[in-house]
Structure 1
Amino acid sequence: MEQLDVACIIDDDKIFTYLLSKQMQLINFSKTTLIFPNGLEALKYLKPILESPESLPSVILLDLNMPVLDGWQFLDQFVLLKPKKKITVYIVSSSIDAADHERAKKYEAISQFYIKPVTQAHLTEMLMHLKSA
């Protein structure tokens, strides 16, 4: 399966991001993986490159519970951006709260909600979905 050029993980859990990035490497998920500890850092990176589709991620794996700017706050600002490329967002959270799952359905930008831990099977499913879209 063809790998993505750029993927992005937004999560404050360093152990989770390390393990997830290793799993992504094992299945050749993406050539480059960007990791941000919160939504604010991700937005600071994304905003200046909105006009450069080759630099933008194809996918964002987004945690909900983070300091500074959480996943919901990030999404509220992200949906206002107009990138030159489609960016698919997957929620990757430990939340099993039904309210979070319902709230996620209200965002057109969100493709799927995955409950941690994310497995290689989940990543392969994401890749297959992205390549068929």
Structure 2
Amino acid sequence: MSSNFDIILVDDDPDFLFLHEILVKKAGLDSNPKKFSDGQKLVEFLKATPLEKASLLLLLDIYMPGLDGWAILDYIESLKLPGNIKVMLLSSSVNFEDKRKAMEYASVIEYIEKPLMLEYLERLKEQAIF
């Protein structure tokens, strides 16, 4: 893996989950990103992971049934691990309020409207975001 972060993909839409996995691999960021189709499974994974030593980058959908992206962000913020978990929100929402709310979270580094594009990941990689 050429990224400093382990990549985790979270989306309830299997098509987006599949597409984003291909893009992450093609960009050379992670050859085997973890994938979760719902927020509860992600939180269970995070609870079982020694996060003090982790460097995670979540590509996180906002609107999912059950635990949505906002609830996951609230959970991540409650962990108080600045820098260990970074989040790129991926959403089909173009609502300005969603974008504003997203940037209130310290862990959120980007808000991207779906679909994610390979060029975007490559540009972030060149800028050493990863």
SS of residue in 2 equivalent to 1:49: coil
Q: Does 1:44 align with 2:49?
A: no
Query: Which whole-Å CA distance do the structure 1 matches of 2:117 and 2:129 have between them?
Result: 20
1:62–1:92 CA contact under 8 A, matched in 2: yes
Q: Does 1:29 align with 2:29?
A: yes
Query: Which whole-Å CA distance do the structure 1 matches of 2:64 and 2:45 have between them?
Result: 17
2:5–2:57 CA contact under 8 A, matched in 1: no
Code of the aligned partner of 1:18? F
Unaligned ranges ≥5, structure 1: none
TM-score, normalised via structure 2 length:
0.87
Match of 2:100 among 90, 95, 102: 102
Q: CA RMSD in A?
A: 2.2
Deviations 1:63-109 (A, max 9, x none): 00001100001111111114596221110111101110111111111
Query: Which whole-Å CA distance do the structure 1 matches of 2:58 and 2:129 have between them?
Result: 17
Aligned runs of 1:1-133 on 2, under 5 Å?
2-4=2-4, 6-51=6-51, 53=53, 56-83=54-81, 86-129=84-127, 131-132=128-129
Percent identity of equivalent pairs: 26
Cα 1:132/1:65, change in 2 over 3 Å: closer
SS of residue in 2 equivalent to 1:88: strand
Unaligned ranges ≥5, structure 2: none
Aligned length: 130
TM-score, normalised via structure 1 length:
0.85
2:61–2:90 CA contact under 8 A, matched in 1: yes
Query: Which whole-Å CA distance do the structure 2 matches of 1:116 and 1:68 have between them?
Result: 20
1:89–1:110 CA contact under 8 A, matched in 2: yes
Cα 1:81/1:28, change in 2 over 3 Å: same
Structure 1 residue 127 displacement after superposition = 2.6
